[in-house]
Structure 1
Amino acid sequence: MLRTYLGGCHCQLVRFEARIDFSNGTVKCNCSFCSRLRSWHVKVRREEFRLLSSEDSLAVYQGKNPVAHHPFCKRCGVHVFDRVDMPNGTGYPYINVNIMCLEELDVDEALNAPITYQNGLENDWINPPLERRHL
């Protein structure tokens, strides 16, 4: 069921809202960025995401992947979402929302949602990684 969630970073300088349907599943990726963060996210279309705070509250890190932008709060450093410009198997640009930054997250709903494991480390977005216990 599609639901609008509010979310934010630890200090609440970064605020957003996103329309999410957990029945579509969540994602864990083994790329060097996501695995270090132990990121657990849900993909949403850009039109289903709205940043409520100023872009000035964010700093942006961009690693080796030129289409992935990793904004984080300038004050507390929490990584709240990613902007992905090119489709990694989706067919459209999207936002990766860090589900642990959602207010009123129903943990049972998140745990019961299907999880897609992505092999970003090997740039193989179609096949899951062989090892995923650490994700």
Structure 2
Amino acid sequence: MEINENTKEFFGSCHCGNVRFHCKLETELLNTETLRCNCSYCLKVRFWEIIVCPKDFKLLKGENDQGNYLNGSKVNDNYFCKGCGVNTYSLIKMEGVPNAPFYAVNVTTIEGITHEQLSKLKITFLDGATDNWQNEPKYHSHI
């Protein structure tokens, strides 16, 4: 997913506010693609991501308040707040994943998105469980 010239800055944070970031996304959120993956990590933490180019992401606060978990691939950095445990974003560097490296920001940590907007976001389901990133998994309503 490419960010076009029609972008807007958004702020996000973990639950306790120790980790804060900003990123640029399409102004019309309802047209922005979001992703849900069935890999063992994303499934367990219920990670719902939106892709952000590295140049469009900046950590504002909390570098020392974050933990970093390397999941099974041992190359993707999954950041979470040490205080409240919320997974705020990941840095995806794994070979074979389209557009890598990129930040995968947890949609639910972006401030100002209403429940109505969240319910209308477009979701693409990824089959990370079998490294079949180009195709939707057979079962996905649970992710």
Deviates more, 1:108-117 or 1:24-33: 108-117
Asked if 2 retains the 8 angstrom alpha-carbon contact of 1:18 and 1:44, the reply is yes
Q: Structure 1-normalised TM-score?
A: 0.91
Residues of 2 paired with 1:35 and 1:18: CA distance?
24
1:9 aligned partner, one-letter code = C
Matches within 5 A, 1:38-77: 38-77=46-85
Partner Cα distance (2:100, 2:90) in 1: 14
Q: How many residues align?
A: 135
Aligned to 1:30: 38
1:14 corresponds in structure 2 to 19
Contact 2:13 2:110 in 1 (8 A): yes
Gaps spanning 5+ residues in structure 2: where? 1-5
Q: Which residue of 2 aligns with 1:79?
A: 87
Shift of 1:106: 3.5
Cα offset for 1:64?
A: 0.8
| 1:4 partner amino acid | E
Deviation (angstroms), 1:24: 3.1
Percent identical pairs in the alignment equals: 30
Secondary structure at the aligned position of 1:109 is classed as helix
Which ranges in structure 1 are unaligned for 5 or more consecutive residues?
none
Counterpart-to-counterpart distance in 2, 1:113 and 1:68: 25
Distance 1:113 1:87, change over 3 A: farther
Using the size of structure 2 for normalisation, the TM-score is 0.86
